[in-house]
């Protein structure tokens, strides 16, 4: 498994995809943080924490990062030579998820450094209570877990769908159309959707929320469901 993980990590490092997504995530975080803090009065703890959190929009970028990287294996036929030297498809998928999870953590760390580095000084001028130590633990710990898990979930979705364009469009439609439209109908259960668990885990405060431990568990279950689905489909798929 170590060799597979190292091989997938090497593949990840040797195209511009990860760099592009990292840049997009950091720029979006920077823009989101500055716009949120400078455009409104953030007096409550919830508002301030939300302004610094890894939002669901940024989580979506990491999800797409995993989707694009994973589905590219089928689009560019790069899976075949890998399977010829390492025929275990499930092991290869798990190794790829771990590699993207690690990359997601790294991108999440960059986002947090930028977001907190810019946001904390800007928030210092706002009235109301200041963020406490446990708020920062949630923002940082939850943000990192959110980033890593979203990238892994993306890999699983990409492996399940295989068609890169369909997978990307499907994820965007699901996160930004289906889940928001379904939220009023789901009431409290909307806290368990993918975007809302990502928001809860990252420290966001909008919509129905879960405690960040529960959010981590739910997002992990979402990931596990897609991994199992991808494993079953991939085992029967012709490459």
Choose one: 4-12, 49-57, 137-145, 153-161; the region binding other proteins (CB under 8 A).
Answer: 4-12
Among 138, 159, 136, 130, CA closest to 223: 159
If binding is defined by CB under 8 A, does position 163 make contact with other proteins? no
If binding is defined by CB under 8 A, does position 132 make contact with other proteins? no
Query: What is the per-residue binding string for other proteins in 198-237, x denoting contact by CB under 8 A?
Result: --------------------------------------x-
CA 41 to chain centre: 28
Query: What is the per-residue binding string for other proteins in 6-25, x denoting contact by CB under 8 A?
Result: xxx-xx--xxxx--------
**Chain residues 28-87 in contact with other proteins, contact rule CB under 8 A:** 72, 76-78, 80-87
Among 102, 218, 117, 191, CA closest to 155: 102
**Tokens standing for residue 68:** 């694009």
Nearest distance, CB of residue 93 and other proteins, angstroms: 13
- Whole-angstrom distance, CA of residue 107 vs CA of residue 170: 23
- As a residue count, the chain comes to 239
Closer CB to other proteins, 22 or 145, in the complex? 22
- Whole-angstrom distance, CA of residue 176 vs CA of residue 221: 21
Please name the residue that has the structure tokens 């990409």. 158
Residue ranges that bind other proteins, judged by CB under 8 A: 3-4, 6-8, 10-11, 14-17, 72, 76-78, 80-87, 92, 236, 238-239
């Amino acid at each position: 498994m170590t060799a597979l993980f190292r091989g997938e990590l090497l593949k990840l490092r040797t195209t511009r995809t990860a760099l592009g997504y990292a840049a997009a995530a950091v720029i979006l975080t920077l823009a989101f943080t500055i716009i949120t803090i400078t455009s409104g009065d953030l007096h409550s703890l919830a508002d301030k924490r939300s302004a610094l959190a890894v939002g669901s929009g940024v989580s979506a970028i990491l999800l797409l990062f995993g989707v694009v990287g994973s589905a590219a294996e089928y689009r560019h036929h790069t899976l075949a030579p890998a399977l010829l030297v390492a025929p275990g498809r499930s092991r290869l998928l798990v190794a790829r998820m771990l590699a993207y999870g690690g990359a997601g953590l790294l991108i999440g760390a960059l986002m947090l450094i930028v977001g907190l580095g810019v946001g904390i000084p800007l928030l210092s001028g706002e009235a109301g209570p200041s963020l406490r130590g446990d708020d920062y633990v949630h923002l940082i710990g939850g943000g990192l877990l959110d980033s890593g898990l979203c990238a892994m979930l993306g890999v699983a979705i990409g492996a399940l769908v295989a068609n890169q364009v369909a997978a990307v469009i499907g994820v965007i439609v699901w996160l930004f159309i289906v889940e928001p439209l379904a939220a009023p109908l789901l009431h409290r259960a909307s806290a368990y959707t993918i975007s809302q668990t990502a928001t809860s885990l990252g420290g966001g405060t909008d919509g129905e929320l879960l405690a960040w431990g529960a959010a981590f568990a739910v997002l992990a279950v979402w990931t596990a469901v897609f991994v199992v689905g991808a494993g079953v489909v991939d085992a029967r798929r012709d490459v």
